[in-house]
A and B are shown apart, each in its own frame.
Chain A
Amino acid sequence: MDVLTVTALCKRFGSVVAVDGVSFTVGAGEVVGLLGPNGAGKTTTLHMVLGLTRPDSGTVEMFGHDMARDRSRALARANFAASYLHLPAVLRVGEILDVYAHLYGLRRPAARVAEMVEMLDLGPLRRQQFSRLSSGQQTRVLLAKALLNDPGLLVLDEPTANLDPDAADRIRGLLVEQAVTSGRAMLITSHNMREVERMCDRVHFVSGGRIVATGSAVELAGAYGVDDLEAVFLRVARGGAPSSTT
């Protein structure tokens, strides 16, 4: 059974059509990427998946729960991190994780927090206030929060935007490994094409609120007759169609 099933989502803000009939699924252990130019509707789609924004039409089903009716039960098994979110500024890292361990109703909060500190290398930062951290360090804390409840579905909106290449690489490795070993499903947006190539099993190109192309990075490059995802992106973003020779 799919972890996430999104069907015919539409959302309009005043005269702007942000999302226009988007459908896709994410299965257990699968990493799916949404790619597309600024304003394509990626964040709006993610926020509808998470129940932060209500779709005008269409449905989101997470772990078999309809998000319009059964939000809390679905959200207990999902989590979210985004480059634009922060955590309470005056709280220390350890306190933040403790609070979220409780908000997610974890049974052994202290032990889980310790695991997260270990996993994301937060030991030296544990007693620091969130506002004092560098943005890369803050990103690691946000990811620790997002992994706390060992989510079956992890939604990430430009997760590595603030990380240095070394930290970003290690985080990607960690996330991909966990998707494989724990069967975690992931839904990701990113403007880093190499990140998408490395992480995603399947990519949906979004443009003007619609999915205009779908496939693995290799399949897409093949379909457009180019070398890599970056070239596909440029073709799609500039209105190109797949090359007819392939």
Chain B
Amino acid sequence: MGIVKRDFYALRGNGGRLLEIFFWPVLELVIWGFVSVFLRANNVPIAVSMLLGAVLLWQVVGRAQGELAAMFLHDVWSRNLLNVFVSPTSLAEFLTGHVIFGAGLIALSTAVMSGLALLLYGFGIATIGPALVPFVTLLVVMGWGLGVVSIAVVIRFGESTQSVAWVLSAAFQPFAAVFYPVGVLPPVAQAIAHAVPASYVFEGLRGVLDGHGIDWSGVAMAGLLDLLLVAGALAFVAHALRHARRTGRLSKFGE
């Protein structure tokens, strides 16, 4: 798989990116960790595990989306995109390659952060139990869906829209109910939250940490929304590429 190799070489050749991959998640982990330690010391009844679990899981969405978009944008910046598009590699193979490599990166960064959470705050991610498997899967898929959307936006509207790639997943965070229940949101925001797969995961996370077991209907709902998101994203990127071939925009990625 040429794309996977490419991603690996690119990461090895650019130490700064490796730093980037860990910097933000670790920073958030440290800040929220100390916030929860402080609150507990002042007898605010708060579960450290809630905050840390939420931080750990939310980074999965951001990484999945951000890395997928970054791997594509690196080809744009280094004026390599046309070389890829005149090779027999199809768009599907191209995305699959990046996704496979991205999965490895997410596993790595989650492992590092879990280790750190245990070391610094005594929070073992295993506390979440077997629910971790569907939760992480749902979040990764949501991240990839958003990643494909960011790629499609750049292909469709041009390089100047690349900032979308940096903010897209963060824009969903308020509606993902990461640190608070959906119920505290105003009605309109609640409606949006109900369409965001991650909100069911974080509601589910709080349920599990409270000892209620897995809410399978929430998992199913999130799964359904993930499927819709990915299907929509793939249709969008295919449309964007057709449009770029017609308008000559694709050919301009060489310059």
> Which of A's residues lie within 8 Å of B, judged by CB?
11, 13, 18, 43-44, 47, 50-54, 72-73, 75-76, 78-80, 82, 84-92, 95, 98-105, 129-131, 145
Contact = CB atoms under 8 A, between A and B. Distances in A.
A78 B85 CA distance: 12
B250 interface: yes
A100 B86 contact: no
B13 A80 contact: no
B251 A53 contact: yes
A86 B86 contact: no
Contacts of A95: 5, 9, 13
Chain B interface size, as a band, is 20 to 34
Contact of B2 (A11, A18, A103, A131): A103
Contact of B247 (A13, A50, A85, A98): A13
Interface of B: 1-3, 5-6, 9-10, 13-14, 74-75, 77-80, 82-90, 242, 245-248, 250-251, 254-255
B255 A84 contact: yes
A58 to B, nearest CB: 14
Nearest to A130: B78
A130 B9 CA distance: 12
A92 B13 contact: yes
B88 A72 contact: yes
Contacts of A131: 78
Contacts of B6: 88, 91, 99
A76 B88 contact: yes
B100 to A, nearest CB: 13
A25 B226 CA distance: 48
Given A90-B14, A102-B5, A80 B88 contact: no
Contacts of B255: 84
B80 A88 contact: yes
Contacts of B250: 52-53
Nearest to A94: B9
Contacts of B247: 13
Given A80-B86, A105-B88, A85 B79 contact: yes
Contacts of A73: 88
A135 B29 CA distance: 44
Contacts of B83: 80, 85, 87, 100, 145
Contacts of B10: 88, 90-91
Nearest to B5: A99
Given A72-B88, A103-B84, A103-B88, A82 B245 contact: no
